[in-house]
Structure 1
Amino acid sequence: MKSIRFTNAEISMSGNLFLPENFSEAERYPAIVVVHPSGGVKEQTSGLYAEKLAGHGFITLAYDASYQGESSGEPRQLENPYNRVEDISAAVDYLIAQNCIDEQRIGVLGICAGGGYAVHATMMDRRIKALGTVSAVNYGDMYRLGWEGDLQPSSSLELLGMAADQRTAEARGAVTGYLPTTPNSMEEAPNRDFAEAYEYYRTPRAMHRNASSKFTTRSLAQLITYDAFSHADVFLTQPVLVIAGSEAGTRWMTEAIYQRAASQKKSIHIVNGATHIAMYDKPDYVTEATEKFASFFSENL
């Protein structure tokens, strides 16, 4: 693994590039961009999947999103979905510029919110030849319909007002406002997935100094009105493999994009017994998913 920098407009992006065993500069390899969840960084689950897939012969790139981790940008922890999608294309730009990478064999793998962004990027950027997701979340649907898809969209109107009020306050000189992406304690968790999210991000299980488990309050305005899956029935034509845990509250979103994708070569794999977060790092589940992705990307890149 080597640390690299690339750019997305004025943002300096920080990434980790994983190379296959016996890597040779004289060869040309397929490559996979791996996209982290909201509130995460490249040293967590995206880096884990990137490392595992490099072991199957791919060059892989896990990076910190704009405004997050070791990438630049102010305000810190801005979670603008449109920036996040553009990050993916910027990562593709970097890979295409490397002589050791075959530009006709580039894929993307996204995890949680990174899965939603990966779906959107694949529709927009035809240089991406295959798409994989793990525990995919369409962030807009999550806010409009709830983690388990059981809310009414009108319930999110109050949050839009919160975003507007905070932006007004900041325009008048207030400090940047933030909201947590994970509960502040296990007791605050509203369900099993969020309890495990607390454990993953806020305990030694996977906590990292650059993953602050928060995002800017103003980001709500973009997130609530965003739809990562919009027009997937028209534009998502590349090969697709989506994976989710059988016990994940968000499983319905993985099933939704599988149904909506226009791809003539799409598949869904449900990992028995896995929760949303368990797919991030539990060895047996990650190994099962990685084996599926290795076969999928080998066939389609």
Structure 2
Amino acid sequence: MKKITFIIAVLVLSFGQLKAQTKQQLSNKNSEKMDTSKEHYTFQLSDKVIRQKVSFKNRYGITLIGDLYLPKNAGNKKWSALAISGPFGAVKQQSSGLYANQMAERGFIALAFDPSYTGESGGEPRNLASPEINTEDFSAAVDFLGLQKNVDRNKIGIIGICGFGGFALNATAIDKRVKAVATTSLYDMTRVMSKGYNDSVTPEQRSKTLETLGEQRWKDAENEKPAAGPRILPETLKGDEPQFVKEYFDYYRTPRGFHVNSLNSNGAWLTTNPISFMNMPILAYVKEISPRPMLLIAGENAHSRYFSEDIFKVANEPKELIIIPNTVHVDLYDKVDVIPFDKLENFFNANLK
């Protein structure tokens, strides 16, 4: 049961097979006071960029809230545009907004948005994820961008971060309007929820997880509301957690990346959240992204690196895999000196035409 708890609680990974690391001191950032304002952003807006709050609906009628980032010199020109979301459990004031800010500074109109059931976006119950609906969220963002008078609807791409890298690839496979896609620190959430980290979950463990989820449904039905699972990240660390849990903590639970609306910073998924992920391999059609180009970016020391490498093996050309030396998973969330923004700029400039 310990492994099942980890799967649900900490980004639904099978952490039980990872060795605990030796105790270490938390970052000095932890002693700083975290900003709990909902208006707080974890990065500074570029003085070359304008940010506008926007809203749009997806195909299921859920209202999504996003931030539209535009170059200050936008004028009446038709610009290339990017839809950006992620990581899984994060909000637009965190990594996706930072990416949008950087890409707008480089000459793109960029939309960072909160997914359905998350942050400022609509959807009930709260704190829920769905492979289908979160894939649709990207296509709805494409709808919105393509209706803007200063966007060339034939020049729209997607950037997906962490678990939304998987949804970004799935959206690109099914939505031919998307001309190019890039992912950073890719996670396939359907794979990790159904098979565990490094595909380590046995058929018996999977069956037990499904039985547990079924029992939880009885409880939710009796209570007429879904139960919340355990916190994704603890208030404090004991020191013996797996190294990558410490890395998540150093982003989400410190002033570096904390946001009050972020599940990873401040909350929990519904206990039954994994159900829709268990039987739905969202990247089964990744080959159909071709002939549109794909760029996969991962950290050399990231625990998630294998997701990018495995997708690269099965995807058709044109495709490119970049491994960033001496970096871990969360380094690609916010470290602007590490994230290859120049490469992203060149990739989309070359392929959104």
| TM-score normalized by the length of structure 1 | 0.93
Show the counterpart of 2:94: 44
Count of residue correspondences: 297
Show the counterpart of 1:299: 350
Query: What is the rounded CA distance, in whole Å, between the counterparts of 2:337 and 2:94 in structure 1?
Result: 17
Once the two structures are TM-superposed, the CA of residue 144 in structure 1 deviates from its matched residue by 3.3
1:282 to 291, 311, 335: 335
- 1:251-266 to 2 correspondence within 5 Å? 251-262=305-316, 264-266=317-319
Show the counterpart of 1:102: 152
Residue 270 of structure 1 pairs with residue 320 of structure 2: no
Once the two structures are TM-superposed, the CA of residue 236 in structure 1 deviates from its matched residue by 4.5
Letter in 2 for 1:269: I
The C-alpha deviation readout for 1:238-295, integer Å capped at 9, x for no partner, is 1000000000011000011111112x21101000011011111123212xx2111111
Query: What is the rounded CA distance, in whole Å, between the counterparts of 1:153 and 1:237 in structure 2?
Result: 36
Query: What is the rounded CA distance, in whole Å, between the counterparts of 1:188 and 1:14 in structure 2?
Result: 37
Once the two structures are TM-superposed, the CA of residue 182 in structure 1 deviates from its matched residue by 3.2
2:221 to 156, 164, 171: 171
Residue 240 of structure 1 pairs with residue 291 of structure 2: no
Once the two structures are TM-superposed, the CA of residue 149 in structure 1 deviates from its matched residue by 4.2
Unaligned runs of 5+ in 2: 1-50
Residue 197 of structure 1 pairs with residue 251 of structure 2: no
Secondary structure in structure 1 of the residue aligned to 2:186: coil
Secondary structure in structure 2 of the residue aligned to 1:187: coil
Query: What is the rounded CA distance, in whole Å, between the counterparts of 1:187 and 1:175 in structure 2?
Result: 32
RMSD of aligned alpha carbons: 1.8
Query: What is the rounded CA distance, in whole Å, between the counterparts of 2:199 and 2:244 in structure 1?
Result: 14
Once the two structures are TM-superposed, the CA of residue 15 in structure 1 deviates from its matched residue by 0.1
Show the counterpart of 1:227: 281
Show the counterpart of 1:21: 72
Q: Summarize the Cα distance change of 1:281–1:210 in structure 2 as closer, same or farther, 3 Å threshold.
A: same
* Maintained 8 Å contact 1:159/1:220: no
Secondary structure in structure 2 of the residue aligned to 1:13: strand
Query: What is the rounded CA distance, in whole Å, between the counterparts of 1:280 and 1:22 in structure 2?
Result: 27
Show the counterpart of 1:119: 169
| TM-score normalized by the length of structure 2 | 0.80
Secondary structure in structure 1 of the residue aligned to 2:269: strand
Unaligned runs of 5+ in 1: none
Query: What is the rounded CA distance, in whole Å, between the counterparts of 2:231 and 2:208 in structure 1?
Result: 18
Query: What is the rounded CA distance, in whole Å, between the counterparts of 2:202 and 2:321 in structure 1?
Result: 27
Once the two structures are TM-superposed, the CA of residue 20 in structure 1 deviates from its matched residue by 1.5
* Maintained 8 Å contact 1:144/1:154: no
Q: Please tell me whether Structure 1 or Structure 2 has the larger radius of gyration of its CA atoms.
A: 2
The C-alpha deviation readout for 1:153-208, integer Å capped at 9, x for no partner, is 55333322232222222222254222357331433875222211122112222111
Query: What is the rounded CA distance, in whole Å, between the counterparts of 1:299 and 1:201 in structure 2?
Result: 34
Residue 65 of structure 1 pairs with residue 115 of structure 2: yes
